[in-house]
Structure 1
């Protein structure tokens, strides 16, 4: 719908568009995570908001509010507002995480910094990122996971996947190839936590489960964990679901209109079509961080001890009775030092039995490994949109005489529209919140500063 802007409004929109383009250009030229990067990113959203609001007010003024076309436009306006609000919140959260990480790295340049304090800070940041970041989607990764776990069939050009819930086959679109150890934390941190043999496994099917979308969502949010189950075949490891967040999920249905509740999922074995399984150490890391995140949240909200999982469900804190060296001992010690007072005794004792004696040559070398790992952690929500929704119906190039000084010409409108599209494309190369091609690296100046101070 044409909002029929006044000449003053057209001029204002033109100025705002120019400001948005400058903000996009500015952010694309700044180091990701720098103070100016966040400033430009927020200015871009602010400009888009102002354009959208101005155009929608004009549309309200010049439209029949009962017209279905206006109602549709109003819904689109509201949807775009919500998308920008979500992006703004995501930017603010990531800005705080970057600030927290950079403060840790600046403090690490002190000659009094020791391994104990650094690993405690590392654990705290890692858990903060774990609770705020989510999944990343990769087509090659998904294909590898489908091939490894098997059970896919194709009928009439529709692909069906084997469901670990009940062994039935459902359409491929209902499933997600889920990273167990998050892609957002990065391969460098993965190598530090699990050892050198984990270096290339962040995008391996061994670090994945093929899950129904709703299950994956709650697994990713640390409300569901996968732990060892009793197996009739000693040569093949079996796994079961446990619900960590009883209050939030217990009586909720797994599928809309279905009969299975999440309470039915608790202690339910995963069914696999072949003998391929994920690595236990990655599931253990997910389990341990899920439990810690849950206990931390419970402590902050003042939940009494009797309502915590270890009181109601001892199987949660004792779920990993099998022994195995899964995590670097310094990581386990970091968890205990930073959070031990908040955790039940069973969980602490369980964690200590899963220490892997992964050692550096010296404490100084270990400290440098922590810093390098920290510097390569990706801080970014994987759910940030990357589609061209910026201004939608409320930033279309349909005003007369606005593009390139042309007066009402269709060619001028198209030229401006093409330039807008190019600006969006170019800006996204710089503001890539969903990059899966590599790690978002630490500001090199900070790393050089740390190393020069240490030396």
Structure 2
């Protein structure tokens, strides 16, 4: 059935992203004009610079590949992942040649620092190109890291007590694991790296991320990535279909099993309203107070989905002559 093919699923999510962005743009256009620049400016920049919007280059994000090279170098240094000319992948738990490893952003740099500050609150020094906002991962995994197939969630015991949750939240370095959220994906039983590893995509489910050092990505950016994958998964189904996954594990525990104050509450509320009431557990990651434009998180996620893999890859070309 064509509606269940990968081609169709990609088309469905692109259409949903475009519909969402057009709706938001109309609401912004109809809203009273602010007297001065506000958080709404983050939305306007997202719309006019996105290929799903007007596709105009605004200069809101760095285009120089040196920024990506510096980001990669920072990841290599902070995560302590270089040994004997190879780089460690915390997902595959193995060493790979530098040419097969990617410096992956969790919150895409294309959204700009203003959007990051609006969604997560202002953090200084700025973290758009911080190693707290990224991972070094095997390129074969990175290809589907932002495809609504897998996501990263806290690694907690089964049926954790409140004391266990408090302990996890209080740790300076927290443990995370991979969950497969698309049980209908046709590639689940295919090997991730055809020539060298027997590991299949299905084998990643519940696998802990193994970091060589004590440095881990910030939970707030992992939570953004988690929400984005949930949205992708929901948008990849055709008309009249339902996403073949739940926000809960086999024991009825939410996949992201810990509360946190990661993103603005009103933005998460608009995000959940787009998805439906069954996605209410996502609200556990909201702040206590509202902040800024309520649709900015949803609009940012739609912009990233609308970006498309080809343009995202093009935007992250790296100068590797002088770095691993």
TM band (smaller chain):
0.5 to 0.7
Change (3 A) 1:327 1:370: closer
Q: 1:219 aligns with which of 145, 164, 176?
A: 145
RCO higher in 1 or 2 (8 Å CA, sep ≥ 6)? Answer: 2
Contact 1:281 1:327 in 2 (8 A): yes
The corresponding residue for 1:351 is 282
Count of residue pairs brought into register by the alignment? 264
| 1:182 is the counterpart of 2:118 | no
Query: 1:110, 1:260 → 2: CA distance?
Result: 54
Change (3 A) 1:171 1:382: same
Contact 2:270 2:295 in 1 (8 A): no
The corresponding residue for 1:293 is 232
Contact 2:146 2:229 in 1 (8 A): no
Change (3 A) 1:110 1:201: closer
The corresponding residue for 1:105 is 28
TM-score, length basis structure 1:
0.49
Shift of residue 327, structure 1, vs aligned partner: 1.0
Matches within 5 A, 1:26-105: 102-105=25-28
Root-mean-square deviation (CA), in Å?
A: 4.3
Q: 1:318 aligns with which of 254, 261, 277?
A: 254
The corresponding residue for 1:139 is 69
Aligned residue for 1:218, secondary structure, equals coil
The corresponding residue for 1:267 is 206
The corresponding residue for 1:337 is 273
Unaligned 5+ runs, structure 2: 1-15, 35-39, 56-62, 158-163, 318-324
The corresponding residue for 1:303 is 241
* CA distances 1:226-251 after superposition (whole Å, capped 9, x unpaired): 11113899643111111122222311
Contact 1:243 1:266 in 2 (8 A): yes
The corresponding residue for 1:276 is 215
Runs ≥4 residues deviating over 6 A: 93-101, 129-133
Shift of residue 330, structure 1, vs aligned partner: 1.0
Query: 1:131, 1:315 → 2: CA distance?
Result: 39
Change (3 A) 1:317 1:174: farther
The corresponding residue for 2:189 is 251
Unaligned 5+ runs, structure 1: 1-92, 112-117, 361-365, 387-432, 437-455
Change (3 A) 1:382 1:243: closer
Shift of residue 188, structure 1, vs aligned partner: 1.1
Query: 1:224, 1:297 → 2: CA distance?
Result: 14
Query: 2:273, 2:104 → 1: CA distance?
Result: 30
Shift of residue 215, structure 1, vs aligned partner: 0.8
Contact 1:250 1:261 in 2 (8 A): yes
Query: 1:253, 1:161 → 2: CA distance?
Result: 20
Shift of residue 325, structure 1, vs aligned partner: 0.8
Shift of residue 338, structure 1, vs aligned partner: 2.7
The corresponding residue for 1:171 is 97
Change (3 A) 1:225 1:94: closer
Larger helix percent = 1
Query: 1:296, 1:262 → 2: CA distance?
Result: 21
Shift of residue 359, structure 1, vs aligned partner: 4.4
Larger radius of gyration: 1
Shift of residue 98, structure 1, vs aligned partner: 8.3
TM-score, length basis structure 2:
0.67
Query: 1:315, 1:218 → 2: CA distance?
Result: 27
The corresponding residue for 2:322 is none
Contact 1:188 1:199 in 2 (8 A): no
Change (3 A) 1:281 1:160: same
Q: 1:148 aligns with which of 54, 59, 78?
A: 78
